[in-house]
Each structure stands twice: as structure tokens, then as C-alpha cells.
Amino acid sequence: MRSQTVIVTGANSGIGKATAKALASKGANVVLACRNERRGHIAKQELLAQVPYGNFTVLKCDLNDLKQLHEFVEEVKKRFDSLDILINNAGVVTLKNEVTAQGFEKMLGVNHLGHFYLTEQLLPLIQRSNRGRIIILSSGAYKWGDFDESNANLTEEFSIAKAYGRSKLANLWYVHALSERLKHSHVNVMAVHPGAVSTSLGVDRSSGFGEGIHRMLRPFFLSAEKGARTSVSLALRDDVVNGGYYYKGKVKTIDGIAKDLERAKHLERWSYEAIEQALS
């Protein structure tokens, strides 16, 4: 892992920060891709206190805004000739129907479309690596989700569970479609279910309700370090399964519509078209 370049989205807290710490301790050059640069720099100083020899770079990466993501990608291309590992870790949960800068329902827009755009734009750099890895955090909540492009913004109805589940299903479908596309390359694509980790839920804690959710469920959550273990393992080990859905370090079977490759490819096409239209 020494001198390999790794990007971790949402790396200023929680699982992302724990992942960055673990990989930096193995000698990786870690890019802390953070929506808030100030918090990113605070996290960097905290990480350096724990890993004094760590190589950390903070870059602004706002998955809520595709135009800012383009700026992030251009900055990465200026700084690095190749990218060894991309860990799509960041995610949000909204308590009402909110939209991204380009008008997408926010959980789908950030958790799926932002990472989709980021991955596709960085793919040429990843393909230059001798051991490219794309690790996408999903969740068992995918079982709650479905996708209807005629109601992509959930304007007809909104359920927190269904919207979040849809975004996690989209993550799995993207892994399914992308791993199929790259199956003859040296790039492996995997999905991770990190387990129930408090800090992995990007709930707005500024509201009493959001903070209350965390307080109530905290005893049932894993630590960020435990939640990061599978992502770290997939970054380090050689024996990975392209397209695999990993939980606690092992490949798990996915259920229901998540297995449907045709629907996965359909979402992939829809994502391309929706992003192209949003940026035109």
C-alpha cells in the first residue's frame, strides 16, 4: 500500500476519517475529500496527531453540486498521474424532501449521482493504476428501495426510509453495472455494508429531531473504526471479488431487484442522461 494514492469522500468524520487513518498508517497518500474544507483541515490535524508520518491532502469535494465536483476532479488530475483506490464513503440522510444544487432529490443526488459522476470522471486515472479499486459504501437498507424514473425526485410522495433505501439500491446497481463493464480490466469494484454506524448517517443534527435520533440509537451503533474495517480490508487485500457485496469482510448474497443487471444498466443510462441534462 506504500505510496498508493487513495481518495476517501466524507473523510473528515466517522467511517471516512477512520478509513483514512487506517490507510495512512499503512503508507498510503490519502486525499481527504470533504464538503467543508475547514472541517477537513481540522480532521487532518487530528489525524496527524494519531499518524504523525501520515500523508494527507485536503480537497473540497461537494457531492451536492456536480459543478463543484468537476472542479475537484480537475484538481485531482493536476496533482496525480494515477489513482489507486477510490472509496465512495460519504452519504446523507434528510428528514424531508430536499434537493441538490442541480435539483435532484438529495439522498439520490448525493449518495448515488454525486458519486456516480465522481467515479466516471476519475475512472481514467484509476485505470492507470496496476491495482485499481473502487469501493462504494451501500447498506442493507437497499431492501427498502426501488427506482421509478417517472418520479425520480419523489415529488408525489416522500418517505425517509424509501428514499434512503433507493439511494443505497442505486449504489448496489452501480457496482453491479460498473463491475460488469470493467470485468476484463485490472480495476475491481466492490460494495460495502459497513453495519450500523452512528456517524455514517449524515442526519442534520442541528435539529432537535436529528440529534434525538442519534441519542436514541447510539447504544446500538458500531464504532467508526469497526465500521471502517471492511473498506480498509478491501483496500489492502489481494483476494477481492469484482462486483462483490461485502459485510464484515465477507461476500454476501444480495436479494430481490438488487440482483437485476438489466435494471442496474438502466439506472446507469438514466444517471448519465440526467447528469448530462443537468450540466448542459
Q: What percent of the chain has pLDDT over 70?
A: 90
Between 3 and 182, the higher pLDDT residue: 182
Inform me whether the pLDDT recorded for 216 exceeds 90: no
Q: What average pLDDT is seen over the chain?
A: 92
pLDDT of residue 184: 96
Between 226 and 218, the higher pLDDT residue: 226
Cell of 22: 487506517
pLDDT of residue 207: 43
pLDDT in tens, 116-164: 999 999 999 999 999 999 999 999 999 999 999 999 999 888 999 999 9
Judge whether 164 counts as a catalytic residue.
yes
Q: Quote the CA–CA distance of 68 and 62 in Å, as a whole number.
A: 6
Max Cα-Cα span within the chain:
52
pLDDT of residue 1: 67
Q: How far lies 196's CA from each of 12, 15, 125, 231, 247, in Å?
A: 19, 11, 32, 14, 11
pLDDT of residue 211: 52
pLDDT (average), residues 198-203: 50
Which residue has 450540466 as its cell numbers?
279
* Residues paired with residue 56 on neighbouring β-strands, in sequence order: 30
pLDDT of residue 197: 59
Q: Quote the CA–CA distance of 130 and 171 in Å, as a whole number.
A: 25
Inform me whether the pLDDT recorded for 265 exceeds 60: yes
Query: H-helix or E-strand containing 189?
Result: strand 188-193
Residues 6+ apart with CB under 8 A from 248: 195, 229, 230
Q: What percent of the chain has pLDDT over 90?
A: 86
Statement: the pTM of the whole predicted model exceeds 0.85 = yes
Closest to 88 (Cα-Cα) out of 172, 205, 186, 195:
172
Q: Indicate the pLDDT class of residue 219, thresholds 50, 70 and 90.
A: very low
Cβ atoms of 7 and 84 closer than 8 Å: no
Provide the residue ranges of all domains of the chain, joining segments of one domain with +.
5-279
Which of the residues 164, 174, 245, 246 is marked catalytic?
A: 164
**Beta-carbon neighbour count of residue 119 at 10 Å?**
17
Q: How far lies 123's CA from each of 27, 143, 185, in Å?
A: 23, 28, 12
Fold for domain 5-279?
Rossmann fold (3.40.50)
